Amino acid sequence: MSTIAPEFRLSRFIASLTDIIFWILLIFSIIGLPLVFILLFYIKLPVVNGQLLTPYLAMTWMADPSRTIPIIKSLIHTEFFRIIAFPGFGFAALLAAATIFVERKFLAKIQLRVGPLYCGKIEGILQLMADGLKLMSKEIIIPAKADKPIFWVAPLLFVGTAAALTSLIPVAPGWVAANPNVGLLTVFATIGFFPIITVLSSWSANSKWTFIGGIRALHQMISFEIPLILSLLGIVILTGTLNLTEIVESQQHYWWIVFMPIGAIVFFITIIAELERIPFDLPEAESEIVAGWLTEFSGMMYGLIQLGTYLKLYAFAGLFTVLFLGGWNGPMVWPPFPQEIITNGITIGPITAHIPGLPLFDQEMLNGTLWFVIKTVGVILVILLPRGVFPRIRIDMLLHTGWYTLIGLAFVNIFIALGLLYAGVLGHGGLMQ
């Protein structure tokens, strides 16, 4: 009897079904329910229809289809949702994944190729998932002489720091995971962690290639962080605030790129260098130093670093949008939520469903998100473009660019900002109130 294709037996089929149901019930009651409780513990439960939601009541409502909308809405407006899903990690990771796909197709178009094509039927849309599965199923190899705790923790630190950077980006009015008053300063502080993580991981791997790559990354990040900070001082001078939300609100009529194009160019070049993308990918130059500071990472450790890199890419593109391109500001193009649904409910054939609690998101938020995403995607595409056009530059050219050209231009930008401020064109009491 062949074991590859056993005969079908009804009794075994029913037995397997009951088996599955048993395990689902067991896992749900032992793991699932406590997880829901833990989740609900951290949500500040709202008062809906005069009733204070308790965890049991919330779970009762979740089982009732007509009452799920208010509970979803209350979930959306919690801090938990902001950090995990919408302006926080989930949204950023989604955009980062889309970026990887777009980068592949975009670069393939430049290079007269087709890019990923087969995985997922439609233009290889599932290629990323396949790559992720491959990375997860690979063995993680730790070098024998590595400093193991630091080597293990470096990819996690990298993703964590990149995610911290994404949480500072305001996506729509009022929609930001963390909104400190010194937002721009927090951004600088978070960027300052990356060289430390890079050097830690490269040193702990105890390999020559990672060592050279780490030193190169250190040189690159330090020499480009100074022009990065200086190029943004013009905006701080003109707006008089460090809060990113207030900086976006100050651009309701004019974007800062109109008045400070030099600062925008300097900031753009420095973010390409901070992201270690071509032409500034010296720390990972594969023809010179294998893979630089990533040489010894394998399997999902490498995957985490890549995830962190693309989160960082989204964060920097978002930062450029927020600081120079007006953030969420834009004409109102999103249609308002139809009033009939709120008053009359949805009628499908004989059934009329009254859904309380709609709309989930207000019009301004959706419109702001739309404009933010459009601008950010545009910036990301421009960041991706040099990879198809430029070769890699050399370390001395890089340092020369960082310390001479960019710092000089950043100072020119500061003087332009000061001039605009003292001439009274912009700033307090000027063109922009």
Partner 1 sequence: MATQLPPGIELEKVDDRIMTLNVGPQHPGSGHMRLIIKVDGDYIVSCDPDPGYVHRGEEKMAEYRNYIQNIPHLERPVIHDSCNILYPYCLAVEDLLGIEVPERAKYIRVIGSELNRCTYILYWLAIYGIFLGHSTMFMWPVGDRELFIDLLEAMSGARVTHAYFVPGGVRNDLPANFEERCLRQVDYFEKRLKEYEDIFYQNPVLKQRTEGTGILSRMDAIRLGTTGSVLRASGVDFDVRKKEPYDVYDNLDFETQVLREGDSYARSRVPYLEMFESCRIIKDALKKMPKSGSVRTKLKPNPKGGNDEVYRRVESGRGSLGYHIISNNRPEPYRVKISVGSFRNLICIPYLLKGEKLGNMPAVYWSLNYWPVEADR
- The least distance separating partner 1 from the CB of residue 102, rounded to whole angstroms, comes to 16
124 vs 279, beta carbon nearer partner 1: 279
Asked if residue 315 binds partner 1 (CB under 8 A), the reply is no
3 vs 111, beta carbon nearer partner 1: 111
Site string for partner 1, 38-67 (x = CB under 8 A): ------------------------------
Asked if residue 373 binds partner 1 (CB under 8 A), the reply is no
Identify the residue among 286, 353, 404, 423 touching partner 1 (CB under 8 A). Answer: 286
Distance spanning both ends of the chain, measured CA to CA: 85
d(C-alpha 420, C-alpha 414), whole Å = 10
Asked if residue 287 binds partner 1 (CB under 8 A), the reply is yes
Asked if residue 387 binds partner 1 (CB under 8 A), the reply is yes
Name the segment binding partner 1 (CB under 8 A); options: 33-41, 127-135, 276-284, 369-377. 276-284
77 vs 208, beta carbon nearer partner 1: 208
Residues in contact with partner 1, counted by CB under 8 A, come to a total of: 28
Identify the residue among 112, 122, 144, 348 touching partner 1 (CB under 8 A). Answer: 112
Q: Which residues in 397-416 contact partner 1 (CB under 8 A)?
A: 397
Asked if residue 281 binds partner 1 (CB under 8 A), the reply is yes
Q: Tell me whether residue 10 is exposed, middle or buried, using C-beta atoms within 10 angstroms of its C-beta: 0 to 12, 13 to 18, 19 or more.
A: exposed
Q: Which residues in 217-246 contact partner 1 (CB under 8 A)?
A: none
Identify the residue among 396, 422, 429, 433 touching partner 1 (CB under 8 A). Answer: 396
Asked if residue 388 binds partner 1 (CB under 8 A), the reply is yes
- The least distance separating partner 1 from the CB of residue 302, rounded to whole angstroms, comes to 15
Asked if residue 145 binds partner 1 (CB under 8 A), the reply is no
Cis before residue 170, ω within 30 degrees of 0?
no
Name the segment binding partner 1 (CB under 8 A); options: 21-29, 174-182, 189-197, 285-293. 285-293
Asked if residue 383 binds partner 1 (CB under 8 A), the reply is no
Identify the residue among 395, 412, 418, 421 touching partner 1 (CB under 8 A). Answer: 395
Amino acid at the residue 220: Q
Name the segment binding partner 1 (CB under 8 A); options: 79-87, 230-238, 287-295, 340-348. 287-295
Identify the residue among 12, 44, 354, 394 touching partner 1 (CB under 8 A). Answer: 394
Identify the residue among 93, 205, 285, 383 touching partner 1 (CB under 8 A). Answer: 285
Helix (H), strand (E), coil (C) string for the chain: CCCCCCCCCHHHHHHHHHHHHHHHHHHHHHHHHHHHHHHHHHCCCCEECCEECCHHHHHHHHHCHHHHHHHHHHHHCCHHHHHHCCCCHHHHHHHHHHHHHHHHHHHHHHCCCCCCCCCCCCCCCCHHHHHHHHHHHCCCCCCCCCCHHHHHHHHHHHHHHHHHHHCCCCCECCECCCCCCCHHHHHHHHHCHHHHHHHHHHHHHCCHHHHHHHHHHHHHHHHHHHHHHHHHHHHHHHHCCCCHHHHHHCCCCCCHHHHCHHHHHHHHHHHHHHCCCCCCCHHHCHHHHCCHHHCCCCCHHHHHHHHHHHHHHHHHHHHHHHHHCCCCCCCCCCCCCCHHHHHHCEEECCEEECCCCCCCCCHHHHHHHHHHHHHHHHHHHHHHCHHHHCCCCCHHHHHHHHHHHHHHHHHHHHHHHHHHHHCCCCCCCCCCC
- The least distance separating partner 1 from the CB of residue 211, rounded to whole angstroms, comes to 8
Site string for partner 1, 92-111 (x = CB under 8 A): ---------------x--xx
- The least distance separating partner 1 from the CB of residue 220, rounded to whole angstroms, comes to 12
| Contact in structure between 371 and 329 (CB atoms under 8 Å) | yes
299 vs 388, beta carbon nearer partner 1: 388
Site residues (vs partner 1, CB under 8 A): 107, 110-113, 208, 212, 278-279, 281-282, 285-290, 387-397
